[in-house]
């Protein structure tokens, strides 16, 4: 049984009619009744009835049609349960600020439990996008027009082509103009006139557009019998040349993309390893609970977001110091409570901290349940920076990369220019001498461990934006963290940075050839071999302390 | 990932004795005149996220049956053990349930590897295991009753939907690197090729458990899907790796309208823990959705919410599988008049019980059940809107007809064949070799 029946695209005419009615300006004196009928079908009907109702709504040419359809697409069209009334609502916290869908009358604030959202399927969504695109092609806002053109550029038929041409004649904005011209050029590639086609190909070869590449490929490809799909060899040659040129640029873009992927993977590795670089590298403590300290940071983000659900962006920013503090406190507690009794006994430290990690995991399970928690991503961190059809950099990775560098620089400054940093380095180099100089080593140990743990918490905030926040979060990063620290050279923060980024990039360059599983194995094998050759890592610690 | 696995393994090695000690401590002295039901689901470790819910479901069902007066005049008693997401421990705990606690039936396991681990024990001791999760097929044991979907009850109909309704021409088969995705994808690949799909229009990709860096893979999918033909992703990605996968899809601008992803392991429970924004419009194929509007389902949801005392909890497909499995077992025991495993195994075949989504499930001679297949689109409230469903129930097929090696093989536990691995060509039963 196939529920949404496939309806032919009869929108075209309907949209046109609505368009004219709007141009002619609609002092609508039509009664509200047909509108109410259409809305009732949207409200209750099955998906196919909903589809018909949408078409009906367009045909009605009601001045509220566009607003209602936009609200429907944006998921803002709600039905008030006990009144069975359609409203448009903006979410605020757990409530909605609603207005009547038809009269636009303000109805105040209503709680989320009292309203239900009108659901859509993919098919309805993409149809709606097209309908709204056509209606918005003549909108006043440049950005809206550009979006409208982009929404319709996939399936261009003769009628749409006319619409585009009409718009182009009056269009002032350069971006919208270019977008429409590109669509027209693409159409021109199928033109009957050979010269026009060749002109279009020549013009389009400087564009980084997916549609162009696909069109060119279709021209140059052979079919199953070995004959070219395109009969004209001139066209084929020129298309071939254009494709070669575009492919050259594509290779460049894909290398840039791979480097970016590598850097962002590296940033995650560095963030998760750098806290460990302090506790393991500087203090020599094998802290198996390091991953769980990251998990605590991630859960802190979750809790803060629960406390202030209306300020997503701010909650992430606030989570950074909060996660640092909480993880640092837990870290200090672990150090004071357990690790300080085990200095110099690495195996026992390993087992004890492993126990702590299990304890922390189960604690989180008891408090927050074993299910993953959902941490929302603020608007400015989602989506990507679309440079062209082939190159886009995702915002969340981009911010994490920058965040990682900031954390690293801050940490270096703390170690170089503060009293704590001086003491940490002194104790790391020669504990007994430092003690003799009057440095309270026990206190410094606690503070160092707290610093490392705090950084782990901060890493947890970053991780909450890219992966699951759940009790197992830490486990998936602990091995990678140790790997980075050992590869970079124990006790060397710069080594950790270099190691993290190089492993990230190496992984991403291997992945396309070897696949994700093999790439990881290859990297691991490489590190094992590398450590055989240089047991102290990339940047070995120098001096007497290192030899002891 | 290789390293992480070995690491986890070592963790679990350490965890095992601790957990065992804890369980011994908590298990209570049982009264004599009860029928014991074993619940073998992980309550700690990686799989706790999915399996804890099933443990609660079982307790609820047993509780309800006791309120109705129990079974054969006796009360039912749940024996809950925690195999701690540790595959070898599953076998140990199953042995403990059968020999020490002498349970009449076990309801449990989630991952295929845990089922494979329990298999030799349950066959040796002649127990009964109800397995509630969709799986890769290619198995039929005398002692196991598969109440989840076989590939022909989930994967194949989903591909049919994409092919016929969404006109998909290019296919990405993405999965986590273990037995279920590998076998399912092997079946799907053979199926697609049989349907005339060109080899270069199929892209297969495997990732480690818990994979979190999807940047290059999503970029590859995007490139693969930009060749001008409609493309879809068939995802057998399991568990935790799904969230970063969908997030990356959303961030790289791959929308469900361009490249839909149909998943076999993403249900209501998984969706309740994540930010659903990037998932809206993507698909899932199951045999049950919480959103299906039937009176039976409404009653089940209410019962669950009341039992768990949390109005926000959701129901999902494996829960329904346990619901059906448990009630079938109850009917079979009543029919047989005893809990003796051989009698119950015999009585179970042919038992019918209504689905929550309408229609009737029947236990087939191959120990699989008949189920409807539903395909739904994810909504931003974490629920599904059904966009397609089979008009009648589909019989579970243990041995796929699309793999050349398993094509002639059938499973039939009724006389005269009485074999889970019977070759119709050579007329031979190769026994319990999987």
Q: In this structure, are A331 and A414 located in the same domain?
A: yes
Residue A88 placed within a domain: no
Can you give the residue range of the structural domain that contains B90? 2-127
Q: Which of B12, B13, B86, B274 should we substitute to test contact with A (largest number of A Cβ atoms within 10 Å)?
A: B274
Asked if the model's pLDDT at residue A542 lies above 70, the reply is no
Residue B394 placed within a domain: no
Would you call A476 and B380 a contact, using CB atoms and an 8 Å cutoff?
no
The whole-angstrom separation of Cα B391 and Cα A1 is 5
Would you call B247 and A397 a contact, using CB atoms and an 8 Å cutoff?
no
Q: Residues of B with CB below 8 A from A396's CB?
A: 247, 251
Would you call B387 and A467 a contact, using CB atoms and an 8 Å cutoff?
no
Can you give the residue range of the structural domain that contains A348? 253-383+394-547
Q: Residues of B with CB below 8 A from A521's CB?
A: 2
Would you call B2 and A521 a contact, using CB atoms and an 8 Å cutoff?
yes
- The pLDDT value recorded for residue A85 is 79
Residue B207 placed within a domain: yes
Q: In this structure, are A205 and A341 located in the same domain?
A: no
Higher pLDDT, B162 or A112: B162
Mean pLDDT, chain B, as a whole number?
Answer: 87
Least confident stretch, A77-81, A206-210, A450-454: A206-210
Q: In this structure, are B120 and B160 located in the same domain?
A: no
Residue B367 placed within a domain: no
Residue A67 placed within a domain: no
Q: Which of B50, B56, B225, B251 should we substitute to test contact with A (largest number of A Cβ atoms within 10 Å)?
A: B251
Helix (H, G, I), strand (E, B) or coil at A61: coil
List, for residues B298-318, the tens digit of each pLDDT value.
999 999 999 999 888 899 999
- The pLDDT value recorded for residue B203 is 93
Task: Give yes or no for A268 touching B (CB within 8 A).
Answer: yes
Task: Give yes or no for A272 touching B (CB within 8 A).
Answer: no
- The pLDDT value recorded for residue B303 is 95
Residue A22 placed within a domain: no
Q: Residues of B with CB below 8 A from A272's CB?
A: none
Q: Residues of B with CB below 8 A from A511's CB?
A: 216-217
Least confident stretch, A370-379, B68-77, B247-256: A370-379
Residue A79 placed within a domain: no
Q: Residues of A with CB below 8 A from B224's CB?
A: none
Q: What is the mean pLDDT of residues A351-361?
A: 93
Instruction: Name the residue of chain A whose CA is nearest to B379's CA.
Output: A119
Q: In this structure, are A280 and A184 located in the same domain?
A: no
Q: In this structure, are A267 and A359 located in the same domain?
A: yes
Q: In this structure, are B121 and B193 located in the same domain?
A: no
Q: Is residue A186 within a helix (H) or strand (E), and if so which, with residue range? A: helix A174-188
Shortest Cα distance, chain B CAs vs residue A473, angstroms: 9
Q: What is the mean pLDDT of residues A88-107?
A: 79
Q: In this structure, are B12 and B122 located in the same domain?
A: yes
Asked if the model's pLDDT at residue A28 lies above 90, the reply is no
Asked if the model's pLDDT at residue A88 lies above 80, the reply is yes
Q: In this structure, are B23 and B91 located in the same domain?
A: yes
Q: In this structure, are A226 and A285 located in the same domain?
A: no
Under the banding of pLDDT at 50, 70 and 90, the label for residue B33 is confident
Task: Give yes or no for A373 touching B (CB within 8 A).
Answer: yes
Who contacts A283 (Cβ-Cβ below 8 Å, separation ≥6)? Answer: A428, A445, A448, A449, A452
Task: Give yes or no for A511 touching B (CB within 8 A).
Answer: yes
Asked if the model's pLDDT at residue B405 lies above 60, the reply is yes
Residue B103 placed within a domain: yes
Would you call B240 and A472 a contact, using CB atoms and an 8 Å cutoff?
yes
Q: Residues of B with CB below 8 A from A261's CB?
A: 215-216, 219
Shortest Cα distance, chain B CAs vs residue A29, angstroms: 37
Of B263, B289, B304, at which residue does a domain stop?
A: B263
Who contacts B236 (Cβ-Cβ below 8 Å, separation ≥6)? Answer: B173, B174, B175, B176, B180, B181, B184, B185, B263, B264, B265
Maximum Cα–Cα distance for chain B, whole Å?
A: 68
List, for residues B200-212, the tens digit of each pLDDT value.
899 999 988 778 8
Q: What is the mean pLDDT of residues A464-487?
A: 87
DSSP β-bridge partners for residue B236:
B175
- In this complex, which of A122, A384, A521 lies closest to B257 when CB atoms are compared? A122
Shortest Cα distance, chain B CAs vs residue A423, angstroms: 34
- In this complex, which of B177, B240, B388 lies closest to A468 when CB atoms are compared? B240
Under the banding of pLDDT at 50, 70 and 90, the label for residue A547 is very low
Of B246, B263, B280, at which residue does a domain stop?
A: B263
| Six token digits for residue A371 | 């299910």
Mean pLDDT, chain A, as a whole number?
Answer: 82
Distances B176 to A443, B182, B424 between C-alpha atoms, Å: 46, 8, 33
Shortest Cα distance, chain B CAs vs residue A155, angstroms: 12
The whole-angstrom separation of Cα A17 and Cα A60 is 9
Asked if the model's pLDDT at residue B9 lies above 80, the reply is no
- The pLDDT value recorded for residue B95 is 96
Residue A38 placed within a domain: no
Q: In this structure, are A278 and A186 located in the same domain?
A: no
Q: Which of B54, B161, B213 should we substitute to test contact with A (largest number of A Cβ atoms within 10 Å)?
A: B213
Under the banding of pLDDT at 50, 70 and 90, the label for residue A13 is low
Higher pLDDT, A185 or B15: A185
Higher pLDDT, B371 or A374: B371
Of B263, B283, B307, at which residue does a domain stop?
A: B263
Under the banding of pLDDT at 50, 70 and 90, the label for residue A15 is low
Given a contact cutoff of 8 angstroms between Cβ atoms, the answer to whether A460 and A400 are in contact is no
- In this complex, which of A119, A129, A261 lies closest to B216 when CB atoms are compared? A261
- Burial class from Cβ neighbours inside 10 Å (0-12, 13-18, 19+) for residue A321 reads middle
pTM of the full structure = 0.80
- Burial class from Cβ neighbours inside 10 Å (0-12, 13-18, 19+) for residue B135 reads buried
Under the banding of pLDDT at 50, 70 and 90, the label for residue A17 is low
The whole-angstrom separation of Cα B130 and Cα B325 is 7
- In this complex, which of B52, B217, B277 lies closest to A370 when CB atoms are compared? B52
Helix (H, G, I), strand (E, B) or coil at B144: strand
Under the banding of pLDDT at 50, 70 and 90, the label for residue B26 is very low
Q: Residues of A with CB below 8 A from B217's CB?
A: 511, 516
Q: In this structure, are B6 and B117 located in the same domain?
A: yes
Given a contact cutoff of 8 angstroms between Cβ atoms, the answer to whether B36 and B104 are in contact is yes
The whole-angstrom separation of Cα A328 and Cα B315 is 39
Number of structural domains (chain A) is 2
Task: Give yes or no for B380 touching A (CB within 8 A).
Answer: yes
Under the banding of pLDDT at 50, 70 and 90, the label for residue A26 is very low
The whole-angstrom separation of Cα B159 and Cα A165 is 40
Q: Residues of A with CB below 8 A from B252's CB?
A: 384, 392, 394
Q: Residues of A with CB below 8 A from B226's CB?
A: 210, 214
Could you tell me what percent of chain B has a pLDDT over 90?
56
Q: Among B59, B97, B100, B52, which Cα is nearest to B78's?
A: B59
Q: Which of B204, B216, B217, B242 should we substitute to test contact with A (largest number of A Cβ atoms within 10 Å)?
A: B216
CB atoms within 10 A of CB A410: 12
Task: Give yes or no for B424 touching A (CB within 8 A).
Answer: no
Q: Is residue A484 within a helix (H) or strand (E), and if so which, with residue range? A: helix A475-488
Angle of helix A33-44 versus helix A47-59 axis, rounded to 10: 160
Q: In this structure, are B162 and B91 located in the same domain?
A: no
Residue A123 placed within a domain: no
Q: Among A45, A119, A71, which Cα is nearest to B280's?
A: A119
CA A458 to chain centre: 19
Q: In this structure, are A411 and A295 located in the same domain?
A: yes
Interface of A with B in 66-85 (CB under 8 A): 75
Q: In this structure, are A227 and A259 located in the same domain?
A: no
List, for residues B265-282, the tens digit of each pLDDT value.
888 988 886 778 888 889
Q: What is the mean pLDDT of residues A361-373?
A: 85
Helix (H, G, I), strand (E, B) or coil at A311: coil
Instruction: Name the residue of chain A whose CA is nearest to B388's CA.
Output: A2
Asked if the model's pLDDT at residue A167 lies above 70, the reply is yes
Q: In this structure, are A337 and A226 located in the same domain?
A: no
In degrees, rounded to 5, the angle at the alpha carbon of residue A87 between the alpha carbons of residues A85 and A90 is: 150
Under the banding of pLDDT at 50, 70 and 90, the label for residue A18 is low
Q: Among B173, B155, B157, which Cα is nearest to B235's?
A: B173
Interface of B with A in 278-297 (CB under 8 A): 278, 281
Under the banding of pLDDT at 50, 70 and 90, the label for residue A12 is low
* Selection from A205-214, B55-64, B206-215 with the highest mean pLDDT: B55-64
Q: What is the mean pLDDT of residues A97-115?
A: 79
Which CATH number covers residue B182?
3.40.50.2300
Least confident stretch, A20-34, A474-488, B38-52: A20-34
Q: In this structure, are A189 and A276 located in the same domain?
A: no
Task: Give yes or no for A122 touching B (CB within 8 A).
Answer: yes
| Helix ranges (DSSP H) in B143-263 | 155-164, 179-194, 215-224, 242-251
Q: Residues of A with CB below 8 A from B244's CB?
A: 466-468
Q: In this structure, are A183 and A308 located in the same domain?
A: no
Residue B170 placed within a domain: yes
Given a contact cutoff of 8 angstroms between Cβ atoms, the answer to whether A354 and A342 are in contact is no
Please provide the DSSP assignment of A98-133 as one string.
EEETTT--EEEEEEGGGEEEPP--HHHHHHHHHHHH
Q: In this structure, are A333 and A475 located in the same domain?
A: yes
- The pLDDT value recorded for residue B244 is 86
Instruction: Name the residue of chain B whose CA is nearest to A390's CA.
Output: B223
The position carrying tokens 């309908």 is A131
Higher pLDDT, B86 or B30: B86
Number of structural domains (chain B) is 2
Asked if the model's pLDDT at residue B213 lies above 90, the reply is no
Residue A480 placed within a domain: yes
Q: In this structure, are B160 and B259 located in the same domain?
A: yes
Q: In this structure, are B163 and B48 located in the same domain?
A: no
Interface of A with B in 160-179 (CB under 8 A): none
Task: Give yes or no for A350 touching B (CB within 8 A).
Answer: no
Q: In this structure, are B7 and B54 located in the same domain?
A: yes
The whole-angstrom separation of Cα B419 and Cα B413 is 5
Q: Among A350, A276, A298, which Cα is nearest to B7's?
A: A350
Given a contact cutoff of 8 angstroms between Cβ atoms, the answer to whether B59 and B52 are in contact is no
Q: What is the mean pLDDT of residues A468-473?
A: 85
Asked if the model's pLDDT at residue B433 lies above 70, the reply is no
Shortest Cα distance, chain B CAs vs residue A397, angstroms: 9
Asked if the model's pLDDT at residue A474 lies above 70, the reply is yes
Under the banding of pLDDT at 50, 70 and 90, the label for residue A3 is very low
- In this complex, which of B2, B278, B377 lies closest to A524 when CB atoms are compared? B2
Residue A66 placed within a domain: no
Q: In this structure, are B95 and B176 located in the same domain?
A: no
The whole-angstrom separation of Cα A183 and Cα A154 is 9
Q: Which of B12, B15, B22, B219 should we substitute to test contact with A (largest number of A Cβ atoms within 10 Å)?
A: B219
- Asked whether the bond before B416 is cis by omega within 30 degrees of 0, the reply is yes
- In this complex, which of B48, B212, B385 lies closest to A119 when CB atoms are compared? B385
Interface of B with A in 214-233 (CB under 8 A): 215-217, 219-220, 226-228
- The pLDDT value recorded for residue A191 is 73
Would you call B49 and A210 a contact, using CB atoms and an 8 Å cutoff?
no
Under the banding of pLDDT at 50, 70 and 90, the label for residue A32 is low
A429: left (phi over 0), alpha (psi -120 to 50) or beta: alpha
List, for residues A109-132, the tens digit of each pLDDT value.
887 777 777 878 888 888 888 888
Task: Give yes or no for A517 touching B (CB within 8 A).
Answer: yes
Helix (H, G, I), strand (E, B) or coil at A431: helix
- In this complex, which of B177, B274, B381 lies closest to A117 when CB atoms are compared? B381
């Amino acid at each position: 049984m196939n529920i949404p029946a496939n309806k032919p695209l009869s929108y075209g005419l309907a949209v046109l009619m609505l368009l004219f009615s709007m141009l002619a300006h609609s002092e609508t004196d039509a009664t509200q009744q047909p509108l109410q009928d259409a809305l009732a079908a949207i409200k209750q009907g099955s998906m196919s009835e909903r589809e018909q109702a949408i078409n009906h709504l367009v045909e009605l040419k009601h001045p509220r049609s566009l607003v209602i359809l936009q609200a429907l697409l944006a998921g803002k069209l709600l039905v008030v349960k006990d009144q069975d009334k359609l409203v448009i609502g903006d979410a605020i916290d757990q409530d909605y600020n609603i207005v009547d869908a038809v009269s636009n009358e303000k109805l105040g604030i209503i709680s989320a439990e009292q309203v239900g959202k009108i659901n859509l399927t993919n098919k309805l969504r993409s149809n709606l996008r097209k309908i709204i695109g056509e209606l918005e092609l003549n909108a006043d806002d440049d950005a809206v027009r550009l979006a409208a053109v982009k929404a319709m550029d996939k399936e261009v038929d003769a009628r749409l082509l006319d619409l585009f041409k009409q718009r182009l004649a009056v269009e002032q904005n350069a971006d919208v103009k270019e977008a429409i011209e590109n669509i027209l050029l693409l159409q021109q590639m199928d033109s009957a006139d050979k010269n026009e086609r060749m002109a279009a190909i020549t013009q389009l070869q400087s564009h980084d557009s997916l549609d162009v590449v696909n069109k060119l490929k279709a021209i140059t490809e052979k079919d199953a019998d070995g004959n070219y799909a395109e009969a004209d060899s001139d066209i084929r040659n020129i298309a071939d040349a254009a494709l070669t040129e575009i492919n050259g640029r594509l290779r460049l873009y894909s290398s840039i993309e791979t480097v970016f992927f590598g850097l962002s993977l590296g940033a995650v590795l560095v963030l998760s390893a750098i806290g460990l670089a302090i506790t393991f590298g500087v203090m020599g403590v094998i802290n198996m609970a390091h991953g769980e300290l990251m998990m605590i940071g991630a859960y802190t983000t979750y809790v803060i977001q629960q406390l202030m659900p209306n300020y997503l962006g701010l909650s992430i920013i606030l989570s950074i110091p909060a996660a640092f503090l909480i993880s640092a406190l837990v870290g200090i507690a672990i150090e004071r409570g357990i690790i300080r009794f085990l200095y110099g006994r690495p195996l026992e430290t390993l087992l004890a901290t492993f126990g702590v990690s299990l304890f922390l995991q189960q604690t989180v399970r008891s408090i927050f349940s074993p299910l993953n928690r959902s941490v929302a991503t603020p608007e400015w961190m989602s989506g990507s920076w679309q440079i062209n059809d082939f190159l886009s950099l995702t915002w969340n990775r981009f911010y994490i990369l920058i965040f990682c560098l900031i954390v690293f620089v801050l940490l270096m400054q703390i170690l170089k220019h503060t009293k704590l940093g001086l003491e940490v380095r002194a104790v790391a180099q020669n504990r007994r001498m430092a003690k003799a100089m009057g440095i309270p080593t026990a206190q410094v140990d606690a503070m160092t461990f707290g610093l490392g743990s705090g950084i782990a918490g901060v890493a947890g905030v970053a991780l909450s934006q890219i992966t699951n926040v759940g009790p197992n979060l830490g486990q998936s990063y602990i091995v990678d963290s140790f790997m980075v620290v050992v590869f970079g050279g124990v006790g060397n923060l710069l080594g950790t940075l270099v190691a993290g980024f190089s492993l990230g990039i190496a992984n991403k360059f291997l992945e396309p050839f070897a696949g994700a599983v093999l790439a990881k194995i290859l990297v691991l094998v490489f590190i094992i071999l590398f450590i055989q050759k240089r047991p102290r890592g990339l940047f070995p610690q120098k001096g007497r302390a290192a030899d002891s | 990932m290789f390293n992480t696995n070995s690491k986890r393994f070592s963790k679990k090695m350490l965890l095992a004795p601790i957990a065992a000690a804890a369980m011994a401590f908590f298990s209570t002295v049982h009264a004599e005149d009860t029928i014991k039901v074993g619940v073998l689901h992980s309550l700690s470790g990686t799989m706790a996220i999915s399996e804890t819910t099933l443990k609660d479901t079982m307790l609820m069902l047993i509780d309800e049956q006791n309120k109705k007066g129990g079974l054969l005049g006796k009360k039912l008693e749940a024996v809950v053990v925690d195999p701690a997401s540790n595959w070898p421990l599953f076998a140990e705990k199953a042995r403990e349930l059968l020999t020490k606690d002498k349970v009449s039936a076990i309801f449990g396991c989630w991952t295929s590897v845990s089922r494979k681990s329990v298999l030799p024990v349950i066959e040796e001791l002649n127990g009964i295991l109800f397995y509630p999760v969709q799986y890769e097929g290619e198995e039929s044991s005398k002692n196991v009753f598969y109440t989840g979907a076989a590939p022909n009850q989930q994967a194949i109909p989903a591909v049919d939907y994409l092919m016929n309704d969404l006109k998909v021409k290019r296919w990405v088969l993405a999965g986590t690197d273990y037995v279920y995705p590998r076998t399912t994808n092997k079946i799907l690949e053979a199926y697609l090729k049989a349907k005339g799909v060109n080899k270069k229009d199929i892209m297969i990709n495997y990732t480690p458990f818990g994979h979190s860096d999807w940047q290059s893979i999503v970029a590859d999918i995007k490139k693969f899907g930009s060749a001008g033909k409609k493309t879809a992703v068939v995802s057998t990605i399991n568990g935790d790796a799904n969230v970063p996968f969908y997030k990356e899809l959303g961030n790289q601008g791959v929308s469900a309208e361009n490249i839909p992803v149909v998943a076999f392991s993403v249900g209501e429970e998984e969706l309740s823990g994540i930010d659903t924004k990037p998932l809206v419009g993507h698909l899932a194929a199951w045999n049950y959705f919480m959103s299906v509007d039937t009176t039976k389902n409404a009653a089940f949801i209410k019962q669950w919410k009341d039992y768990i005392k949390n109005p926000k909890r959701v129901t999902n497909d494996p829960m329904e599988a346990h619901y059906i499995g448990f009630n079938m077992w109850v009917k079979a025991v009543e029919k047989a008049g005893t809990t003796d495993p051989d009698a119950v195994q015999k009585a179970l075949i042919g038992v019918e019980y209504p689905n929550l989504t309408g229609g009737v499930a029947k236990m087939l001679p191959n120990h699989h059940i008949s189920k409807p297949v539903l395909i739904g689109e994810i909504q931003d409230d974490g629920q599904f809107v059904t966009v397609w469903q089979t008009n009648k129930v589909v019989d579970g097929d243990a041995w796929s007809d699309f793999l050349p090696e398993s094509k002639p093989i059938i499973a039939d536990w009724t006389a005269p064949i009485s074999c889970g691995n019977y070759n119709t060509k050579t007329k031979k039963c190769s026994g319990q070799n999987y």
